């Protein structure tokens, strides 16, 4: 009996795939960047399974996005550090 895909696995997969395509990367290239198998990347993108904690953090760091965005917990892809840096550059934050 085939196991049902989990909604969160599907959401993570959609975001990984969209980012990869938007950045002109092949599955193989993303797998090499993360030092994992192409099958792992494909499985994530298809929502067959989710990256583990460490893979999720490496993925978010490599993509330059927040882990919350990858998991579908927020709509802003930027990390907190990126937002703060933009505010500092824009002169809205004073030290």
* List of residues 6+ apart from 1 with CB closer than 8 A: none
Residue pair 6/44 in contact by the 8 Å Cβ criterion: no
HSE-CB of 7 using CA atoms within 13 angstroms? 2
Distance of CA 92 to the CA centre of its chain: 28
Q: Which domain holds residue 13?
A: 7-89
Give 65-88 pLDDT, tens digit per residue: 888 889 888 776 666 666 667 777
Tokens read off for 23: 């950045």
pLDDT at 51: 94
* Global pTM value: 0.76
1 domain-assigned? no
**CA contacts within 13 A on the Cβ side of 14:** 10
* CATH code of the domain containing 38: 1.10.260.40
Q: Is residue 2 part of a domain?
A: no
Return mean pLDDT, the chain.
85
Q: What is the pLDDT of residue 95?
A: 45
């Amino acid at each position: 009996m085939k196991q049902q895909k989990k909604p969160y696995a599907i959401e993570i997969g959609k975001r990984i795939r969209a980012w990869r395509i938007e950045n002109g990367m092949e599955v193989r290239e993303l797998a090499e960047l993360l030092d994992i198998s192409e099958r792992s990347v494909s499985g994530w993108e298809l929502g067959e399974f989710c990256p583990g904690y460490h893979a999720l953090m490496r993925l978010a760091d490599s993509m330059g996005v927040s882990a919350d965005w990858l998991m579908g917990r927020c709509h802003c892809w930027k990390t907190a550090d990126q937002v703060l840096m933009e505010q500092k550059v824009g002169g809205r934050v004073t030290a």
